[in-house]
Amino acid sequence: MSAVTATTRRVAALARRDARVELSYHFQLLLRLVNILLSVLTFFFLGRLVGDAAPLARYDGGYFSFALIGLVMTGLAYTCISSFSRSVAQAQSDGTFEILLSTTTPLGTLMAGTLVVPFVMSVFDAVIYLGVGWALTGGELPLLSLLTAIPLVVLTLGTFCAVGLLSAAVIVLSKRGDPLAGMTLQVGNLLAGALFPVALLPEPVQVLSRAIPAYYGLNGIRDVVLAGAGLGDVVHEMAVLAGFNVVLLPASLWVLKRAIAVARVTGTLGNR
Amino acid sequence: MSTVLDVREVAKTYAPPPTWLRPLIRVAAKEPVRALHPVSLKVDRGEVVGLVGPNGAGKTTLLKVVAGLLEPTSGGVLIDGVDIAHKPVAARRRLGLVLEGDLGIYDRMTGRENLEFFGIMAGMSRSDAARRADELLEDFGLGERDKLAFGYSAGMRMRLSVARALMADPALVVLDEPTRSLDPVAADFVCGLLRQLADQGRAVLLSNHRLDEVVTISDRVVALVGGRVRFAGTPDELSDSDGGRDAAQAIVRLLRMEETAS
């Protein structure tokens, strides 16, 4: 049996487990849908108020389309940031964490498998966000150009996964609290331009924005989807994001492994 | 008989975390706590070894070191000749683990789904895991395959936990208080099951506060007090050491004497 087959089988088993649990909470799924509708409608009417403000001139579709991209990416990013730590916390709580670590499944595989179902659900959310947005704009939202932006989306989410692994490391050690997830999203909202153009920020603060991977992701995605750019026009953004991924992903997995090693020494691995 | 578990001079001191990590890690004691003085023991194929001792004696610590979930301060553990520190994956392949009674079951999955899942996590193919799950559910009297685990009684959950530990057919099964919170009938069933595992050629190491059960199913008893081995021998030897009295009572007397002495 090849390593790839074994990994795929384990990831699929973890996904089946999570799907089984998630789908058993029907009411939660319904609330999720209602939340999306309310959120899209709020930004639709906010878009009417803002109109085509000057900083949005380079994008088609006005503020609503601009914010919709931010909303979709924020949802996907939140999943990447929070799924690992939520899964670790849940496993510590139901007593499966130590049992899973005593199996032959590598930590990286456990984490990858943990992401599948939340991510698929987030993609469904994104489809609903965009579908409702498309309907509200009378079909003007260029949905097909989103397919071109997929490499940028993947690279952007990779950097959020790295933050998610760091967040899981914090949970392994502290058991409670997930400071990185909330903080990363807030920083993203403020500095990366999730809901308003970074150009509105004071110049010195804009320098800080350029240190955040999400800034490049959102810029590139909006350029492709709302400004008619091709992938060739966003090579710089993709290169910067790839660089962040190459450094952050292995580093964050290493930190998580170290956190587990520390918990093995202090005897706090399975504590709740 | 061949040795499956070889615990060599394992000591464990819970040291407080480094200063820079203290805001993150919540630990019970701020000073180092010595949980295990160097402890050695062996469990052979076909043998049940019962760990007994008062709360805080170091039983769970020892079991977690054996399972690779705790790093010993010194010493080492070999499972079927494989050093768990140097080849953790190979060692874990030979180990089945049941922790703190019936912890480690997904309530929103059926018994069959639980077993299949953990079988795949142990490296089995999906079809092998499904076949093995069916065998174990049958053997363990858990015939209602489609019943969600949250509908299981405590006894059924424990049987499912033991079945989970056996999915990959390990040479060594380690159990922490497998009969805790079980009624006498369910406890008797689980004890019979554990004896059967050893009779099938596995090595079984368990901790238990129910001394009558320990002396009934164990080939050897190891009494831990304050992280030190105070007695290791067969239930008959234990009984002989106490003037031929009942072995379970002999353990109680031994533990009382040790507590008084300390």
Record the pTM: 0.87
Answer whether A138's CB lies under 8 Å from A64's CB.
Answer: no
The one-letter amino acid code at A161 reads C
More confident residue, B184 or B4: B4
Query: In the predicted model, is pLDDT for residue B101 greater than 80?
Result: no
Higher-confidence residue of B30 and B50: namely B50
| pLDDT for the residue numbered B176 | 92
Task: Record the tokens describing residue B51, joined without a space.
Answer: 């760990």
What pLDDT is recorded for position A236?
96
**Nearest CA-CA partner of B2 in B172, B223, B206:** B172
**Is A37's pLDDT higher than 70?**
yes
Rounded mean pLDDT, B162-167: 92
- Whether pLDDT at A1 is above 70: no
| Residue to substitute from A10, A11, A17, interface B, most B β-carbons within 10 A | A17
Token pair of B56 as six digits? 């805080």
Interface with B, mutate which of A104, A175, A258, A260 (most B CBs under 10 A) = A104
- Grade residue A120 by pLDDT with cuts at 50, 70 and 90: very high
For every residue of B87-116, DSSP letters joined together read -HHHHHTTEEEE-TTT-S--TTSBHHHHHH
User: Looking at residue B250, what is its pLDDT?
Assistant: 80
Q: What integer pLDDT is reported at residue B262 of this predicted model?
A: 65
Q: How high is the pLDDT of residue B81?
A: 94
- Average pLDDT over all residues of chain B: 89
B70: which chain A residues are within 8 Å (Cβ-Cβ)?
Answer: 264-265, 267, 269
Closest CA of chain A from B13, distance in Å: 9
pLDDT exceeds 70 at position A177: no
Q: Which residues of A touch B21 (CB under 8 A)?
A: 173, 262
- Condensed to tens digits (0 to 9), the pLDDT of residues B77-99 reads 999 999 999 999 999 999 999 98
| pLDDT of A272 over the 60 cut | no
pLDDT reported for residue A84: 92
Q: Find residues 84-103 of chain A whose CB sits inside 8 Å of chain B.
A: 94-96, 98-103
Subunit contact A266:B100, Cβ cutoff 8 A: no
Contact A116, A18 (CB under 8 A): yes
- The string of pLDDT tens digits covering residues B220-257 is 999 999 899 988 999 888 888 878 788 878 888 878 87
Listed range (A140-144, A201-205, A217-221, B252-256) with the worst mean pLDDT: B252-256
Span of A119-128, A213-222, B19-28 with lowest mean pLDDT = B19-28
Neighbouring residues of B162: CB distance < 8 A, sequence distance ≥ 6:
B98, B140, B173, B175, B178, B190, B193, B194, B197
Q: Dump pLDDT digits (tens) for B199-211.
A: 999 999 999 888 8
The confidence score (pLDDT) of residue B239 equals 84
- For A29, the enclosing helix (H) or strand (E) is helix A26-50
pLDDT above 90 for A130: yes
In this prediction, residue B175 carries a pLDDT of: 94
Containing H/E element for B172? strand B172-176
pLDDT at B240: 86
Contact state of A95 with B125 under an 8 Å Cβ cutoff: no
Of A41, A269, A143, A265, nearest to B100 (Cα)? Answer: A269
Is pLDDT larger for residue A41 or for residue A184? A41
pLDDT, residue A154, reads: 96
Q: With 90 as the cut, is the pLDDT of residue B190 above it?
A: no
CB < 8 Å from B in window 34-63 of A: none
Report the pLDDT averaged over residues A104-126. Answer: 94
What is the model's pLDDT at position B212?
Answer: 86
Among B26, B61, B106, the residue with its CB nearest the CB of A175 is B26
DSSP for residue A234:
G
* Mean pLDDT rounded to a whole number for chain A: 90
Give yes or no for a contact between B176 and B63, defined as CB atoms under 8 angstroms apart: yes
Q: What percent of chain A has pLDDT over 70?
A: 98
A35 vs B29, higher pLDDT: A35
Per-residue pLDDT tens for B117-127?
A: 999 999 999 99
Is the pLDDT confidence value at B45 over 80? yes
